[in-house]
Structure 1
Amino acid sequence: MDASSGVMLLRPRRFGDERGWLMETWSAARAASQGIDVDFVQDNHSYSAAVGTVRGLHFQRPPHAQAKLVRCLRGAVMDYAVDVRAGSPTYGQWVSAELSAENGHQLFIPVGFAHGFVTLQPDTEIAYKCSDLYAPDCDGGLAWDDADIGIDWLLPASGPVLSDKDRALPGLAAFVSPFAYDGGPLQPLGAPV
């Protein structure tokens, strides 16, 4: 699968014994064998105290567009990727996967997709690798609750915990995408690879 069009759910193998386990979280060679050919240059780590914390939907525009590899270190999140590539037949559609410290799954999100997540447990931490450095002038995003996207967020009865920035993001209808469609439509996530 072409890394530029394929959102992929990865399940790194864990090697365990009576002490616990060890997991290789990134291998360029293993990733290349799965069609992911990306040089990651920045690692980010976020902590969210409350269940229902929504972060997203975020992306970085060219020339500093970012692919991401996301994993959960503590707690659990439902992680979302939204196709925002101009001309894509799956434009505005999304896929999601539960990432948790327990399951060890990772979500690879290529350039051309908005990313967001909601915390499912308190005191959740995620880490993600990025293929380009943070560039504030290229920072962008879409409204988390845009009806045109229609994400089924797993929210508690109390509703979402949001930043002021995420409350003010525009909807998909007002968005002019700088991302080109590469011929690979968004596919449903299969079994983790």
Structure 2
Amino acid sequence: MDPRPLIALDGDGVLLDYNLAYAKAWERATGRYPAELDIQAYWAIDRWDVERLSGEKLEQFRACFDVDFWSTIPPLASAVEACHRLRDQGYDLVCVTALAEDLADARLRNLRQHDFPIEKVFATAHSLEGRSPKADVLEQLKPVAFVDDYLPYMVGVDGSIHKALVLREPKGSPNIGQHLSAVDSTHADLSDFVRWWLSRH
């Protein structure tokens, strides 16, 4: 029997609502849930009415991004359903996420808690420029498609893999410029990708 084709999915911004979880982390650190400034902002720090921290306050805030945080991020609307549609149509799913390796188990627990049909998480180092930190893992996994919401993580990914970019909130988005030529399709969210993909395969 031939193995089921594989689709690789990013975590934050594709499966999980990191920006919403960010507000809870701010509340945990400061005792105040921030007001929402701009729902169209790509970056969490621009979406919420929060100050730019430094020094000890910044370290206190960063300490809130612990195993508990990465285990309890809410799912994005319709993302769980979209994943089940892919599974029902014969695809296996993995999460390839730019997290520290020691947080991979927390991410997997988080996904299972929300009933995502995903059994494996591959955590890669974060990178701000150059070749995607996910490229090597994807080359080994050889998925038929890779879905991410961060354009720089498409750079250097094997050309045989369909690269689907979730555009999501546009203000301040990094999903612009010359590297868009590396992308095979763009979508509003994971559900939009799934509808598009299944209509063609």
Structure with more relative contact order (C-alpha pairs < 8 Å, separation 6 or more): 1
Higher strand residue share: 1
TM-score over 0.5 for the alignment? no
Q: Please, what TM-score do these two structures have when normalized by structure 1?
A: 0.30
Q: Which protein is bigger by CA-based radius of gyration? A: 2
Q: Please, what TM-score do these two structures have when normalized by structure 2?
A: 0.29
Higher helix residue share: 2
